[in-house]
Amino acid sequence: MLTFDPTTTSGAALADLFRRYCELRGPNPEGEVSGGDMLQALTVAFEDIGLDVHGDGTQLDVPAGHSAFTVIGLCCDHSDELYVAGVQAGEHAAAVVELQADEDHFSRYAYTLVAESADAAADLARQQIEDESHD
């Protein structure tokens, strides 16, 4: 049996897709949704989670020996530095609470990645921040 956990990043993505479906359906629970509109919503949802909608299904395959890890840390606003505070096994990025106060010159970072180990996930996160700052 499948379970739904909206506190995970995949659960949040699924919740967003369902909200979009409800918007398209309108206030009537028996309302119909245009197939074209739903396909567009699904395409956007796939792209939002980083899937190439024109690619093949192998992009979903998790390499053997890899697991999901959530990397939490701070990004320096004036460089491509990521200071990793911790790495937790599993998908927990959506559960990280945003605080009202902000750190001077830093942004909070919480992202779930698939990697061979916690150290590899931290390295991937640092590389992601570095790549984004060069775009």
Cβ contact 110:71 at 8 Å: yes
**Residue 119 scores a pLDDT above 90:** yes
Give the Cα separation of 68 and 60 in Å (integer). Answer: 13
CA–CA separation, 96 and 14 (whole Å): 18
| Backbone phi, psi, residue 56, to 5° | -100, 175
Q: In what order do the strands lie in the sheet with 67-76?
A: 82-89, 67-76, 106-115
**CA-CA-CA-CA dihedral for 100, 108, 18, 43, to nearest 10:** 140
C-alpha 17: how far from chain center: 14
Provide the pLDDT for residue 125. Answer: 94
The β-bridge partners of 95 are: none
Q: What is the pLDDT of residue 102?
A: 64
Lowest-pLDDT range of 30-39, 98-107, 126-135? 98-107
Domains of the chain, by residue range, sit at 9-60, 67-133
Q: What is the pLDDT of residues 59-108, one digit of tens each?
A: 888 788 899 899 999 988 778 889 999 999 988 877 777 766 666 788 88
Cα diameter, the chain: 52
